[in-house]
Structure 1
Amino acid sequence: MISVAQLLDELMGRDRNLAPDEKRSNVRWDHESVCKYYLCGFCPAELFTNTRSDLGPCEKIHDENLRKQYEKSSRFMKVGYERDFLRYLESLLAEVERRIRRGHARLALSQNQQSSGAAGPTGKNEEKIQVLTEKIHVLLQQIEELGSEGKVEEAQGMMKLVEQLKEER
């Protein structure tokens, strides 16, 4: 609902619901209800929409005219909005990098568990695995030849055999 209201504010202005004789609100760029990040360039809440890192909609005012007023003002780059904006972006970056590191660590752990969970092949098992691999390779070549000859049903039957051999391997 908030994002729809913001979209309407951008298209029609914040005073879109006022009657012609009602007083218009004069919000300045330094008012509390104006998004300071938007004044600096963009609002980070608009960055990661519909992702895991979605910050949710920004409830403050995003107005291009207020941004232009801020850029023309004598206090431009002196108020500290840019410094706060940079600090906030750096914290967002650190959070995303932390999530990436945690995901990589989780992935490495699961790969280690899978590799340690499967018993390493021994001498007899290695020979059996090698024979099965060779059989699978020969059958795959035959399947390819059958497929190019148009014998699809035979190729599908052999493919089932290959799947069984792969599972046995």
Structure 2
Amino acid sequence: MDALRKQLDVLMGANRNGDVTEVDRNYSDRDVCRLFLAGLCPHDLFQLTKMDLGPCPKVHSLQLRKDYEVAKVKGMHNFDRDLEELIERLIVECERKIQRALKRLEDEDAKAAIAISVSQVTQTPEVMELSKQIKEKLKEVDAFDLEGKTDSKIRALEALEELRTKRADKQAMLLLDAFNKDRASLPQPNQNPPQLAPVPMPNPPDPHTQEMINQKLKKAEDLGEQGMIEEAQKALEEAEALKKMSARQEPTLDSSKYTAVDVRITDQKLRVCDICGAFLSVYDSDRRLADHFGGKLHLGYMHIREKLAELQASSKALQL
């Protein structure tokens, strides 16, 4: 109920029922979230993910944030350092997770640990422009919320989601291109094999078997995101075993569809996202990659990294 109430507060405002009064509340009160005032509360970032911190126990109010920003300009209060320290802790924990994942990959394949930098291959001018538009749209959402314009806020949220989807799709295609090049560098089968009889291709698995295979693949993905690479590999092997079991039933001949990928399908080459630490496979589809870039965990870590850079730049400007 607390989580649902928080979501309604974000959408319609804390005073949606007319029973919340903040006229006597001050931004410096102890029950007001200072991190929210400074621009980012971590409780809002990872809802419904394994990093979910639950609803924030303190008050979030855009009006109080506006009051705080006025006081900040006057030099009365500045909570940026509180937020910066928290973000630094979150990023340090994420970097440790990434380094552990890279170490495990390196133990199996030294090349895998340095093959792809997700942040580099997905930062093009077009993606950066979409990120800029997303930030501007977020400001619109806050402005409409502060003014009590619920309908305008909902429309802005819909536009925001469209921009995020467009960015995720673009990033997915960029990473897919990089993965294609990565795959090309993997060991290839003999380019000029002797002429043999056509290679038998199996029929597609029956619906029940396919469902079991999908469940195993989903389990492997979840385990991979948790850094449990051995368990993830085991789940992938179980999925492949189901495929082979189905392949023994009445194989058909279609040598035109036999590709190098089919030969290496059990070799699920994993790469680590250097933004959030999730495992990605070089065999992932563009849709699966788009789901990753649009997921709350990736977006959350992307947000805090951008916020940290913003806070550090602001701090340097004050020192000059």
Please indicate, yes or no, whether the TM-score normalized by the shorter chain is above 0.5.
Answer: yes
In structure 2, relative to structure 1, the CA distance for the partners of 1:12 and 1:78 (3 Å cut) is: closer
Please tell me the residue identity of whatever aligns with 1:9: D
Matched-pair contact (CA < 8 Å) for 2:3–2:55: yes
Matched-pair contact (CA < 8 Å) for 2:31–2:58: yes
What SS does the corresponding residue of 1:92 show, helix, strand or coil?
A: helix
Matched-pair contact (CA < 8 Å) for 1:6–1:62: no
Q: Deviations over 1:106-154 (max 9, x none)?
A: 2223448xxxxxxxxxxxxxxxxxxx957967459x56xxxxxxxxx43
Q: 81-90 or 103-112: which moved more?
A: 103-112
Matched-pair contact (CA < 8 Å) for 1:9–1:16: no
- Please give the alpha-carbon distance, in whole angstroms, between the structure 1 residues aligned to 2:194 and 2:103: 35
- Please give the alpha-carbon distance, in whole angstroms, between the structure 1 residues aligned to 2:72 and 2:91: 31
Q: Deviations over 1:13-54 (max 9, x none)?
A: 348364xxxx94532111122111110112122223343433
Residue number among 219, 238, 253 corresponding to 1:154 in the alignment: 253
Name the residue aligned to 1:62. Answer: 60
Please tell me the residue identity of whatever aligns with 1:37: L
- Please give the alpha-carbon distance, in whole angstroms, between the structure 2 residues aligned to 1:33 and 1:87: 20
Name the residue aligned to 1:8. Answer: 8
- With normalisation by structure 2, the TM-score equals 0.33
- Please give the alpha-carbon distance, in whole angstroms, between the structure 1 residues aligned to 2:65 and 2:49: 27
Name the residue aligned to 1:98. Answer: 96
Flag the structure with larger Rg: 1
Structure 1: 5+ residue runs without aligned partners?
A: 113-131, 144-152, 165-169
Please tell me the residue identity of whatever aligns with 1:16: N
Q: CA deviation at 1:66?
A: 0.8
Aligned residue pairs total 128
Name the residue aligned to 2:298. Answer: none
Matched-pair contact (CA < 8 Å) for 2:3–2:54: no
In structure 2, relative to structure 1, the CA distance for the partners of 1:76 and 1:29 (3 Å cut) is: farther
Matched-pair contact (CA < 8 Å) for 2:40–2:83: no
Name the residue aligned to 2:182. Answer: none
- Please give the alpha-carbon distance, in whole angstroms, between the structure 1 residues aligned to 2:76 and 2:193: 71
In structure 2, relative to structure 1, the CA distance for the partners of 1:74 and 1:39 (3 Å cut) is: closer
| Superposition pairs of residues 26-65 of structure 1, within 5 angstroms | 26-65=24-63
What SS does the corresponding residue of 1:97 show, helix, strand or coil?
A: helix
Matched-pair contact (CA < 8 Å) for 2:68–2:77: no
In structure 2, relative to structure 1, the CA distance for the partners of 1:139 and 1:85 (3 Å cut) is: farther
Please tell me the residue identity of whatever aligns with 2:77: V
Q: CA deviation at 1:70?
A: 1.0
Name the residue aligned to 1:146. Answer: none
Q: CA deviation at 1:81?
A: 1.2
In structure 2, relative to structure 1, the CA distance for the partners of 1:49 and 1:136 (3 Å cut) is: farther
Please tell me the residue identity of whatever aligns with 2:7: L
Q: CA deviation at 1:88?
A: 0.9
User: What is the aligned-residue RMSD (CA, Å)?
Assistant: 3.8
- Please give the alpha-carbon distance, in whole angstroms, between the structure 2 residues aligned to 1:108 and 1:90: 26
Name the residue aligned to 1:81. Answer: 79
- With normalisation by structure 1, the TM-score equals 0.57
- Please give the alpha-carbon distance, in whole angstroms, between the structure 1 residues aligned to 2:6 and 2:25: 15
Question: Using CA pairs below 8 Å that are at least 6 residues apart, which structure has the higher relative contact order?
Answer: 2
